[in-house]
Chain A
C-alpha cells in the first residue's frame, strides 16, 4: 500500500510540477490574447455606441460638449493616458446618468450636467467613469455576466447588443470595483489639478436627492455616505495642492 501511495504521490507531484512550469510561460502575451480582448472590447463598445446613436438624441449643445470634452482632455493629458482611446459623448436624456462602454466610450446624459452644482462635481463623475475604462472594469463586468461567446455576438448589434447595453447603463459594479474606481478617480483629478472633493460632494447630493436617476453606483449603493467619507479621507492624505477653478 505504501508503494502505491508513494507512486501515486510522485505521479500527482509530477503533473503538478509540469503545470506549474507551464504556468510561468507568458502564454497570453505569446498568443496575443490580451490584445484580442481589447479588440473585442472595442468592437463591442463601438456596436453599443452605434445602438445608442440610433436610438437616442445626441446633444447639439456645444457648451455641454465643450465642458465634457475639456474635462476629459485635462484628465487624459495630465495623467498621460493618451495611449488609451476615449470617446466622450453627450446625449439628451432626462435621467441623471453617466456610464462607460467598453472600448473607451463615455456617455454623459444632459440631465447629469444640469444636476451638478459645480463643474468639479461633473469632473468627479467623469473621472470615476474614466477609471472604469482604464481599469477595464467594464470588460470584467461584462465577461462575468455574459461570457466571451455572447459578448462576441454583441459586436453584430441586434438583440445581444441591446441586452448588453441595458446591463451596462443600469447596473452598478461590485463594491470592490466601485471603491477602486473612486480611488483612481481621486488620483486622476488630483493630477489634473481638479478638486477631487467634487466627487464626494456629488455623491452626497445624489444620496440625499429623491429625483429619479440611474446612477446606481451612487444612488442605490448602501454605503454612498461611507464612500464619500473615504474619498474625503483619501484627499486629506494627499499633499496640499492648489486646484484650478474649472470655468469652462
Chain B
C-alpha cells in the first residue's frame, strides 16, 4: 500500500489524476502536449496533498510523458508527409501509427482501470512507471 489508509477524499483526488489524463486524451489527440499539460497542472495542484495522492498524480504524469514522445513523433511524421512531402506513406509510417494507437489504447484502459481501483483505495502500480515514481515521490 502506498501511504497508509488513504481517506475517501484522498482516494478521489488520486483517482482524478488518472481521470484528468483520460479527459485530456479526448481533447488532446490532435495536439499531443495537451494531455501532458493537463496532467502536469493537476500534479502541481496536488503538491501539498498526501503521499498517496502525490504518488498517483506522479505515476499518471510519467505515463503521459512517454505517450507525449510517441504521439509527437506520429504527429510530426504525418505533418511531414502531408505538407512537407519529405517522404511518402510507407510501411514504416503505418506500422508506427498502429503501434502508437495500440500503446495509446493500452494506456487508456490501464488508466481507466487505475482510476477505478484507486478510487476504492486499492493501489495500482504500472510496470516501470511505478518504480520511477518511487524515486521521484518521497514520503
Residues of A within 8 A of B (CB): 1, 3-4, 7-8, 10-11, 15, 18-19, 22-28, 31, 33, 37, 140, 142-151
Contact B91 A27 (CB under 8 A): yes
Do A7 and B88 have beta carbons less than 8 Å apart?
A: no
13 A-B pairs besides A19-B99, A31-B94 with CB distance below 8 A are A8-B132, A18-B102, A19-B96, A22-B98, A23-B91, A25-B91, A26-B91, A27-B91, A27-B94, A143-B88, A147-B84, A147-B85, A149-B83
The interface residues of chain A, by DSSP majority, are classed as helix
Query: Which residue in B82, B94, B96 is a CB contact (below 8 Å) of A147?
Result: B82
Asked whether any CB of chain A lies closer than 8 Å to the CB of B4, the reply is: no
17 residue pairs A–B, Cβ–Cβ below 8 Å: A8-B132, A10-B128, A11-B127, A15-B70, A22-B98, A22-B99, A24-B91, A27-B94, A28-B90, A28-B91, A31-B94, A142-B85, A143-B87, A144-B85, A146-B85, A150-B83, A151-B85
Overall SS of chain B's interface: helix
Chain B contact residues, CB within 8 Å of chain A: 70, 81-92, 94-96, 98-99, 102-103, 127-128, 131-132, 135
Q: Which residue of A lies closest to B86 (CB)?
A: A144
Chain A residue contacts of B70, Cβ below 8 A: 15
Q: When chains A and B are docked, how far (Å) is the Cα of A18 from the Cα of B104? A: 14
Summed over the interface, the residue pairs from A and B with CB atoms below 8 Å come to a total of 69
Question: What are the residues of chain A within 8 A of B96 when measuring CB–CB?
Answer: 19, 22
Task: Give which listed residue, A15, A142, A144, A147, contacts B99 with CB less than 8 A.
Answer: A15
Closest to A144 in B: B85
Please determine whether A4 and B85 come into contact, CB atoms closer than 8 angstroms.
no
- Bound complex: CA A149 to CA B85 (Å): 9
Bound-complex Cα distance A38 to B83 (A): 18
> Which of these, A27, A37, A144, A149, contacts B82 with CB under 8 Å?
A149
Q: A19-B95, A28-B91 are in contact. Are A143 and B127 (CB under 8 A)?
A: no
Find chain A residues with CB under 8 A from B94 CB: 22, 27-28, 31
A140 to chain B, nearest CB (A): 8
* Bound complex: CA A204 to CA B92 (Å): 42
Q: Of A11, A19, A23, A25, which one neighbours B128 at CB under 8 angstroms?
A: A11
Minimum distance in angstroms from B28 CB to a CB of chain A: 20
Least Cβ–Cβ distance between A159 and chain B, in angstroms: 17
- Looking at A8, A23, A151, which has the most chain B CB atoms within 10 Å of its CB? A23
Q: With A15-B103, A27-B94, A27-B95 as known contacts, state yes or no: A8 contacts B83, CB within 8 Å.
A: no
A210 CA to B90 CA, complexed, in Å: 44
CB distance from A10 to the nearest CB of B (A): 8
